[in-house]
Amino acid sequence: MAASRYRRFLRLCEEWPVEETKRQRDLGGFLRQRVAQAFREGENTPISDPEACDQMYESLVRIHTNFYKNKYPRLKNTTFTGVTVEDCRVILATDILKQMEDMKKGTWKRLREKFSAKKPEEDSK
């Protein structure tokens, strides 16, 4: 029975898209990591709580298939601020968040990093 559960999770991982714009913060990548940890021995992994495993799988399938998005359709595809889904996706991209973080730095810190011979990681230690 563990083998069929393992195969179901693998199939779900294959179908789940990976967002390249969210490096190290992507749900698909996190899911793959957790499945690899949970099923270290592959199909031979003993499952201590099969009901919880099945429930987790069903929950992930509902997220993947947009079950609740389809069950409760929205009238508009914007938020109360008027930001669209695509705008949110762009704003939450890793590169944009890094740029915003760099903008928050003060002038003195930016100048110090620019002219410092050390790497910024070494400076903060």
Domain locations in the chain? 1-73, 76-118
Closest CA to 3 of 35, 44, 58: 44
pLDDT per residue as tens, the chain (125 positions): 678 888 999 999 999 888 777 777 788 888 999 999 988 888 888 888 889 999 999 999 999 999 999 999 888 776 777 777 777 777 777 676 676 676 667 777 767 777 776 655 555 55
Entry pTM: 0.61
